Structure 1
Amino acid sequence: MENESIKVLIGDNSAANGVKAAAKLRENGIIAYTRKMDGQVIYDSILKDKPDVIITALTMQETDSIALMNRIRDKLVNVPAFIIVSDIRNSFIERQVMENGASYFLSAPFDLDTLPSIVKSVCNKPITSNCTDTEIMVTDIIQKLGVPAHIKGYHYLRTAIISAINNCQLMESVTKQLYPCVAQKYATTSSRVERAIRHAIEIAWDRGNTEAITKFFGYYVDSYRGRPTNSEFIALVTDKIRLKLKMSRI
């Protein structure tokens, strides 16, 4: 899948927010268009235009995001991914939104530069065998392995793998080089990055796609070897993608 095949509907046509978000996505090769922040308007556009990702507010005219997601699930077989934006920072609300089908809960205001990466991370489209977009390839692999997209460890892990692919020297010292590199991008600490990545891998190992994990890692997940360490997980995914990128250039 190429970037431009990702289609995003933004439920906000204001110049201050929606238009700027659409422009940022287009800069990154993603199709993006805005619609009025009205539940019925967005619903009709989803059915007509078949976007891959919906970015909309927690509440909107005529309805709210949970009701909208439920309507779409009742109508469509292939349901798009929903990114719900809210200026209300409340863990209960976030949990309700995620449990009702959202792929990502985004607190406003947010850094527009992070939006293309978030969109790619939640997009449900499978990649094509000849895809050479590193970010999309990494996203596809960790999603197939069962790492949930809404936890911090998912984004830290994804960034760590992409960083290691782009700079192989980072893997020489994961603790002293790779974790600090990721931590700097998210304005957090190396120890928090390490813990969040470990938690993400544990979730994938315990609740993920056993068949996909077995095929990818080459041994059964319930074998004596147990789950891989952070370093092992990142190194294996990094090596596989590097090999695929190398083969694509031959």
Structure 2
Amino acid sequence: MHAQKLSTHCACFQILLYLSYSLYVNSFFSFPVRSSFTKIGYVVFAMKPYSLLIITDNVALRERLETYFSSIPLISLLPSGVDGPSGVVQAKLYEPDMMLLDMLMPRMDGIAVLRWLQAENCCRNTRIFALSSMKGEEAIQLGESLGVTYQIQMPTDEGLIFSRMMDFAPDRDGSIKQYRNRMRENDLNLQIDEAITFLFRHMGCPVNLAGYYQAKTVISYCVRNRGKAIFLSKEAYPYAAQIHGVNAKQIERNIRNFIEVTWTRGDMKAQHKIFGNTVEDAKTRPTNKEFIANLTQYTIRRLNKTLS
């Protein structure tokens, strides 16, 4: 009898101990940030997560974003809006901290959603990030006048979307400032994108071509998978095709066209520095494979300098 009471007391003590530990652990958010090419560091913040509403009729994009953000403890994912009308209902119901808004939707596009929110005096404190493939300055200015915090050029990587969101997230208790600084220093995806963008700008690459963004995606994939043999047609192109919503053959053609236009209009001196003797008036442009391989190596060297 005495042994049974002792066993019961021990079981109750274990339950109380477990609950106390759970409350302590759940009061913090622990999530990974890249500290180098191979190591992952952890940053812990005691802060309330940001509520996020996704509004898009693009099923593939919505599922990708939901999968990505549902795995981030700093984000509390709300039920998504599957189009403009359902999106405004969710926005009025939840008044989210942040919103990802697809600007190109049928029936009720992003501009119509923004006008409705403004007319209803809704989501005044929400950070709204417009997802759009439109590059016109007028479209960007119109969005900003209707409450857009930042326009994210699509298609792009989910990690970069999250990085931009954290750049503009409301800082409730000062801890997000620390996170922003660490993320800028350690976010590998962001560093890769910035390194490739620098090289493209240095070479005078035209930004108005689909191949510009698709080449960035392919080079980024090769950098992240450096050290292993990569077959462009079997791995990198299909990966980019999935990101950009086209097929692998279109990726290959668009990058080829992008290289040709770059060689016609770009900075020949900068191109010669990167590609050596393959860049001469009497010689043709590099192949897709040569272009991607050279820029992958340049990007890796630039990142190594940054991380060292």
Q: Could you state the TM-score of these two structures normalised by the residue count of structure 2?
A: 0.42
Greater relative contact order structure (CA < 8 Å, 6+ sep): 1
Label 1:132 to 1:108 Cα distance change in 2 as closer, same or farther (>3 A).
closer
Residue identity in the other structure for 2:145 = E
Q: CA separation in 1, counterparts of 2:143 and 2:107?
A: 18
Could you say what secondary structure the match of 1:189 adopts? helix
Q: CA separation in 2, counterparts of 1:13 and 1:63?
A: 10
Q: CA separation in 2, counterparts of 1:14 and 1:106?
A: 16
Q: Could you state the TM-score of these two structures normalised by the residue count of structure 1?
A: 0.51
Superposed CA offset, 1:56-113 (max 9, x none): 2113243232232232233237431111112233232122212322111112211112
Question: Is 1:53–2:62 an aligned residue pair?
Answer: no
The equivalent of 2:223 in structure 1 is none
The equivalent of 2:84 in structure 1 is 39
Q: CA separation in 2, counterparts of 1:77 and 1:21?
A: 21
The equivalent of 1:144 in structure 2 is none
Question: Is 1:63–2:63 an aligned residue pair?
Answer: no
In our comparison, the structure showing a higher alpha carbon Rg is 2
Q: CA deviation at 1:4?
A: 5.4
Residue identity in the other structure for 2:86 = V
Q: Identity across aligned pairs (percent)?
A: 15
Which residue, 163, 166, 175 being the options, matches 1:117? 163
The equivalent of 1:226 in structure 2 is none
The equivalent of 2:198 in structure 1 is 189
Q: CA separation in 2, counterparts of 1:3 and 1:73?
A: 29
**Correspondence 1:221-232 to 2 at 5 A:** none
Q: CA deviation at 1:35?
A: 2.6
Residue identity in the other structure for 1:42 = G
Q: CA separation in 2, counterparts of 1:57 and 1:37?
A: 10
Q: CA separation in 2, counterparts of 1:20 and 1:184?
A: 21
Q: CA deviation at 1:40?
A: 1.9
**Correspondence 1:1-250 to 2 at 5 A:** 5-12=49-56, 14-29=58-73, 30-74=75-119, 75-76=121-122, 78-123=124-169, 125-129=170-174, 131=175, 134-136=178-180, 138=181, 162-163=184-185, 184-186=192-194, 187-189=196-198
Q: CA separation in 1, counterparts of 2:64 and 2:47?
A: 19
Label 1:67 to 1:3 Cα distance change in 2 as closer, same or farther (>3 A).
farther
Answer whether contact 2:79 2:90 (CA < 8 A) is retained.
no
Q: CA separation in 1, counterparts of 2:127 and 2:167?
A: 10
Label 1:21 to 1:114 Cα distance change in 2 as closer, same or farther (>3 A).
same
Q: CA separation in 2, counterparts of 1:35 and 1:93?
A: 24
Could you say what secondary structure the match of 1:83 adopts? strand
Label 1:31 to 1:61 Cα distance change in 2 as closer, same or farther (>3 A).
same
Label 1:113 to 1:63 Cα distance change in 2 as closer, same or farther (>3 A).
same
List gaps (5 residues or longer) in structure 2: 1-44, 203-308
Residue identity in the other structure for 1:105 = Q
User: How many residue pairs are counted as aligned between the two chains?
Assistant: 153
Q: CA separation in 2, counterparts of 1:12 and 1:63?
A: 10
Residue identity in the other structure for 1:12 = T
List gaps (5 residues or longer) in structure 1: 139-157, 167-181, 194-250
Q: CA deviation at 1:37?
A: 3.6
Residue identity in the other structure for 2:76 = I
Label 1:135 to 1:93 Cα distance change in 2 as closer, same or farther (>3 A).
same
Could you say what secondary structure the match of 1:44 adopts? helix
